[in-house]
Chain A
Amino acid sequence: MTDPIEQGFQRLSTTRRKFVTATGLGLGLSVTAPGAFGALSSSTAGAQESSELLFGVSSDPVSMDPRVYPVTIGFSILRHVYEPLAFRNDAMETVPVLAESWERIDDLTWEFKLRQGVTFHNGEEFNAASVQYTIDSLLSGENSWVNPQFGGYIAVIDEVEAVDDHTVRIHTSTPSNALVANLTLIGMLPPVAAAEAGEDFTNVAVGTGPYRIDEYVANSHIALTTYEGYWGDPPASSQITFRILPEDATRLASLEAGEVHVVNNLPIDALSRFEESDETQVLSMPSNRIMFVGWWNDKEPFTDIRVRQAFNHAIDKETINAALFGGLAQIATAPIHPSIRGYTEMEPYAYDPELARSLLAEAGYGDGLDIAFGYPTGRYLMDRQVGEAIVGMLTEVGINVTPETAEWGTFFNNRADLKYDAWLYGFGANTMDPDFALQWFWRAPAAGGNYDNPEVAELLAQADAVADIDESTALYQQAVEIIWNDAPWGFMYFQPDVFGASERLSGFAPRVDEYFLLFDAEVSE
């Protein structure tokens, strides 16, 4: 019975019971109720020793199994529960987490030394078998509930070899500099419990992270408590509850009412109210998510570079930033964010409607050009407003725009089904690696509008493969320059990540990779 695995199952069943017993949500919410009535004013908070942090998120992470649903919010929330081998610190440097160190042994082999003495929330030990199981479960293709997108991140992996209990060698099919960065997306799982649970792992949900999941109620909330057996420093708050609040106005109201301490996706137009208030603060930072106008580069009229340039000159990025984002966005000066390796500063296409008109005329569209322009509603920050603004700007230079907007599901498929000539789109490079950030220009061209430049593809393939990082960076910079001058997108801006928070919240800051991590966050008094 002292077998750790056996012990693990005992713990597992308690976890499970917790999932079940918390039926009425009464427990979790009775904590917030005083906030609702007495207002979480400074006097009532902090009554208990344990500090609870309440976070209002704009959408549901869908599953507690980190292999089911890849969505930015899910990555962030589950990062508190599951840990990857390596991750980025606040300065965006890749640092060890569950791996202690790693080294590239040869072109195709990476060796990882694993951290010792790490246990999962159910008592299982973290070791080479965990890494093997996790990666295998993503790549085997045998688990129908595993979203292939996760396997796609690490598709380059051929085999995970366990050298000893705490050393693994990862063999790749081609040389790849991006491997470690891509592994930051993969949270490690307990092989015994996960294999046992299979599809049901979302209800077991144990990782090695500083928090374990207390309760998850779909479309309602996720309650996390600290894991006492955590290998690292304990987090600042003993409990975190993510409340799922999809409606913007409601999310803001619950921050104002003191029911939550921090909210994501703060609508820009409410910003000044939260900045001016003594009780709230606004935390914002341009993320690496580039927003652009996409089009089919292999279809008329966009096969003509003058048309592509005209679109770039027709869009007034500065005004969009000033008017719709209060200046919080960052005008794109390359297809990738300055904090990503391989960035090189390019001259933004100046807003010049006259030039745009004459370029269109030169290209033979002086008498007008019919464009079906699609933009999603509720997907990106201010998307509907930005979309309508672009419609106005394109109309201004004589383009005959048919605007179409739809919720994401319809929009996504309409775009893929070629129903739009041009569209508003965004791309965030979660891993901060140039290989990920530039993939729409060669490896996954459909999403980027079928840009096809063999020279760029060759440069990007080489850049990921060469072992010398300086050489790789130089290759990326070359590619970035060519892409920028080819104008395959209407480059616009990097979208800001905006949070509203109680003045009493400290230890939290937005990150350029769009993660929100609350390990150091706490509410004072």
Chain B
Amino acid sequence: MSSNFLVSRVLQSLVVLAGLTFLVFALVRVVPGDPVRLLLGDQATPEQIEQTRKDFGLDESIIVQYGYFLGDIARGDLGTSLRQRQPVTDLIRDALPSTLKLALASIGLSVGIGVPLGILTAVKRGSAIDSVVMSATLFGQALPTFWWGIVLITIFSVSLRWFPTSGSGGWEHLVLPAVTLSTYVLALIVRLTRSAMVEVLTQDYVRTARAKGLSERVVLFGHALRNAAIPIVTIIGLQFGNLIGGAVITETVFAWPGIGLLALNAINSRDYPLLQAIVLLSAVTFLTINLIIDLLYSMLDPRIRHG
């Protein structure tokens, strides 16, 4: 790994981002639905629609609009929400902390429980613990998010009253949405960790390490986990990227005021500037995380060369 690699990756990411801006720009406009008509409602006259379209700069050709859009981005201006009539940056800035909190909590939960469980089941494969955990992961992956969230609310908020049903605030508000959101990822991480560990544990060098009399702890964490880490890290990165784009369903069920709800509203009202900004935000986050993961690959596994 070299600084060359880093520079070329960053450059590539910028190219991807540029391509993405156009794709986003074009795609949000292909989706049927006219933001102006939606905003003005049933009583609007054609003249009003025309005028508003002009006010919003939507009467220009797509290419011209794209030019303005790029120019604005260059000046750090992501535009004004068509629906809220507020700067898009303000709206995102208000919603981002909630989403980050939820994403970090659920990834933390999934990794914190998932990786140890995966290792445990791999080491004790075939045991009763293994069967129980593996069956539980099957439940975890078959649960539709919205349904699971509502079940949790019914049990823990309505019946037991341990946690609030919804909203954001203290840690107690975070518990149910984080559990809901992490259930699927947790199940995925347990299974991936287990299968990666099983694979590594049967490799020669691990057997050799054991044969050399290295302690089981060193074998597990020094050799096996290190080598099993690649697919695990990949999935964590993918999921984290997904979460920043918004956990739409979880945020809706728990009335969690994050990017997901913002995005859903933006889609529903065809709020082009807001939608574009959210997609760009999630793209930048995603590309950054990807870059970090690729760097991690080489650290985890020196055999990976970057050509």
Residue numbers of A with Cβ under 8 A of B are 24-26, 28-30, 32-33, 35-39, 60, 62-63, 65, 68-70, 141, 144-145, 147-149, 152, 199, 202, 217-221, 243-247, 249-250, 253-254, 256-259, 407-410, 412-414, 416-417, 427, 439-440, 443-444, 446-447
Establish whether residues B158 and A253, one from each chain, have CB atoms under 8 Å apart when the complex forms: yes
Establish whether residues A149 and B43, one from each chain, have CB atoms under 8 Å apart when the complex forms: yes
Report A108 CB to chain B, min CB distance, Å.
Answer: 22
From B80, B84, B85, B164, name the one whose CB has the most chain A CB atoms within 10 angstroms.
Answer: B85
Establish whether residues B84 and A250, one from each chain, have CB atoms under 8 Å apart when the complex forms: no
Given the interface contacts A147-B39, A409-B38, A444-B42, does A33 sit within 8 Å of B164 by beta carbon? yes
User: How long is the Cα–Cα vector from A70 to B37 in the complex, in angstroms?
Assistant: 13
Residue of B nearest to A425 (CB): B42
Chain A residues lying within 8 Å of B55, measured Cβ to Cβ, are 144
User: How long is the Cα–Cα vector from A252 to B44 in the complex, in angstroms?
Assistant: 35
Chain B residues lying within 8 Å of A39, measured Cβ to Cβ, are 161
Residue of A nearest to B268 (CB): A409
Given A29-B167, A218-B84, list of 19 further CB < 8 A pairs? A32-B164, A37-B161, A38-B161, A39-B161, A60-B265, A62-B83, A63-B85, A147-B39, A149-B41, A152-B44, A219-B265, A245-B166, A249-B150, A254-B157, A409-B267, A409-B268, A409-B269, A413-B38, A417-B32
Chain A residues lying within 8 Å of B25, measured Cβ to Cβ, are none
User: How long is the Cα–Cα vector from A149 to B40 in the complex, in angstroms?
Assistant: 6
**Which of these, A68, A259, A444, contacts B85 with CB under 8 Å?**
A68
Establish whether residues B153 and A439, one from each chain, have CB atoms under 8 Å apart when the complex forms: no
Report A267 CB to chain B, min CB distance, Å.
Answer: 13
Chain B residues lying within 8 Å of A245, measured Cβ to Cβ, are 166, 255
Establish whether residues A250 and B150, one from each chain, have CB atoms under 8 Å apart when the complex forms: yes
**Which of these, A32, A199, A218, contacts B167 with CB under 8 Å?**
A32
User: How long is the Cα–Cα vector from A414 to B32 in the complex, in angstroms?
Assistant: 8
Report B258 CB to chain A, min CB distance, Å.
Answer: 8
Establish whether residues A219 and B257, one from each chain, have CB atoms under 8 Å apart when the complex forms: yes
User: How long is the Cα–Cα vector from A444 to B45 in the complex, in angstroms?
Assistant: 8
Chain B residues lying within 8 Å of A24, measured Cβ to Cβ, are 169
Establish whether residues A148 and B48, one from each chain, have CB atoms under 8 Å apart when the complex forms: yes
Number of A-B contacts (CB under 8 A): 168
Q: Does B33 contact A (CB under 8 A)?
A: yes
**Which of these, B44, B157, B262, contacts A257 with CB under 8 Å?**
B157
User: How long is the Cα–Cα vector from A269 to B257 in the complex, in angstroms?
Assistant: 28
User: How long is the Cα–Cα vector from A163 to B220 in the complex, in angstroms?
Assistant: 88
User: How long is the Cα–Cα vector from A416 to B38 in the complex, in angstroms?
Assistant: 10
User: How long is the Cα–Cα vector from A310 to B153 in the complex, in angstroms?
Assistant: 46
User: How long is the Cα–Cα vector from A138 to B40 in the complex, in angstroms?
Assistant: 14
**Which of these, B172, B255, B261, contacts A243 with CB under 8 Å?**
B255
Establish whether residues A152 and B48, one from each chain, have CB atoms under 8 Å apart when the complex forms: yes
Establish whether residues B170 and A148, one from each chain, have CB atoms under 8 Å apart when the complex forms: no
Establish whether residues A244 and B170, one from each chain, have CB atoms under 8 Å apart when the complex forms: no
* Interface bits B30-68 vs A (CB < 8 Å: 1, else 0): 001110011111111100100110011000000000000
Establish whether residues B164 and A250, one from each chain, have CB atoms under 8 Å apart when the complex forms: no
Report A230 CB to chain B, min CB distance, Å.
Answer: 28
User: How long is the Cα–Cα vector from A147 to B173 in the complex, in angstroms?
Assistant: 36
Chain B residues lying within 8 Å of A447, measured Cβ to Cβ, are 42-43
Establish whether residues A253 and B165, one from each chain, have CB atoms under 8 Å apart when the complex forms: yes
Chain B residues lying within 8 Å of A220, measured Cβ to Cβ, are 167-168, 255, 257
Chain A residues lying within 8 Å of B153, measured Cβ to Cβ, are 249-250, 253
Establish whether residues A62 and B169, one from each chain, have CB atoms under 8 Å apart when the complex forms: no
User: How long is the Cα–Cα vector from A419 to B121 in the complex, in angstroms?
Assistant: 55
Report A232 CB to chain B, min CB distance, Å.
Answer: 31
User: How long is the Cα–Cα vector from A246 to B236 in the complex, in angstroms?
Assistant: 30
Residue of A nearest to B260 (CB): A219
Q: Can you spell out 7 A-B residue pairs with CB atoms less than 8 angstroms apart?
A: A36-B172, A148-B48, A149-B44, A407-B268, A409-B33, A416-B37, A440-B42
Establish whether residues B43 and A25, one from each chain, have CB atoms under 8 Å apart when the complex forms: no
Given the interface contacts A26-B169, A253-B154, A253-B165, does A217 sit within 8 Å of B94 by beta carbon? yes
Q: Does B163 contact A (CB under 8 A)?
A: yes
Chain A residues lying within 8 Å of B257, measured Cβ to Cβ, are 217-220
Establish whether residues B165 and A250, one from each chain, have CB atoms under 8 Å apart when the complex forms: yes
Chain B residues lying within 8 Å of A446, measured Cβ to Cβ, are 42
Given the interface contacts A29-B169, A413-B38, does A145 sit within 8 Å of B91 by beta carbon? no
User: How long is the Cα–Cα vector from A446 to B52 in the complex, in angstroms?
Assistant: 19
Q: Does B285 contact A (CB under 8 A)?
A: no
Residue of B nearest to A414 (CB): B32
Chain B residues lying within 8 Å of A63, measured Cβ to Cβ, are 84-86
Given the interface contacts A69-B83, A218-B91, does A37 sit within 8 Å of B162 by beta carbon? yes
Establish whether residues B91 and A257, one from each chain, have CB atoms under 8 Å apart when the complex forms: no
From B44, B80, B167, B265, name the one whose CB has the most chain A CB atoms within 10 angstroms.
Answer: B167
User: How long is the Cα–Cα vector from A443 to B42 in the complex, in angstroms?
Assistant: 11
Chain A residues lying within 8 Å of B34, measured Cβ to Cβ, are 413, 416
User: How long is the Cα–Cα vector from A144 to B40 in the complex, in angstroms?
Assistant: 13
Establish whether residues B85 and A70, one from each chain, have CB atoms under 8 Å apart when the complex forms: no
Q: Does B228 contact A (CB under 8 A)?
A: no
Residue of A nearest to B43 (CB): A444
User: How long is the Cα–Cα vector from A221 to B172 in the complex, in angstroms?
Assistant: 18
Establish whether residues A257 and B161, one from each chain, have CB atoms under 8 Å apart when the complex forms: yes
Report B148 CB to chain A, min CB distance, Å.
Answer: 12
Chain B residues lying within 8 Å of A416, measured Cβ to Cβ, are 34, 37
Chain B residues lying within 8 Å of A70, measured Cβ to Cβ, are 41
Q: 7 nearest interchain CB pairs?
A: A36-B164, A29-B169, A447-B42, A145-B85, A220-B257, A219-B257, A144-B55
User: How long is the Cα–Cα vector from A69 to B163 in the complex, in angstroms?
Assistant: 34
Q: Does B191 contact A (CB under 8 A)?
A: no
Establish whether residues A243 and B161, one from each chain, have CB atoms under 8 Å apart when the complex forms: no
User: How long is the Cα–Cα vector from A32 to B157 in the complex, in angstroms?
Assistant: 13
Establish whether residues B165 and A259, one from each chain, have CB atoms under 8 Å apart when the complex forms: yes
From A30, A243, A245, A447, name the one whose CB has the most chain B CB atoms within 10 angstroms.
Answer: A245
Chain A residues lying within 8 Å of B157, measured Cβ to Cβ, are 36, 253-254, 257
**Which of these, A141, A257, A439, contacts B158 with CB under 8 Å?**
A257
Chain B residues lying within 8 Å of A427, measured Cβ to Cβ, are 42
Report B145 CB to chain A, min CB distance, Å.
Answer: 12
From B44, B163, B164, B270, name the one whose CB has the most chain A CB atoms within 10 angstroms.
Answer: B164
Report B84 CB to chain A, min CB distance, Å.
Answer: 6
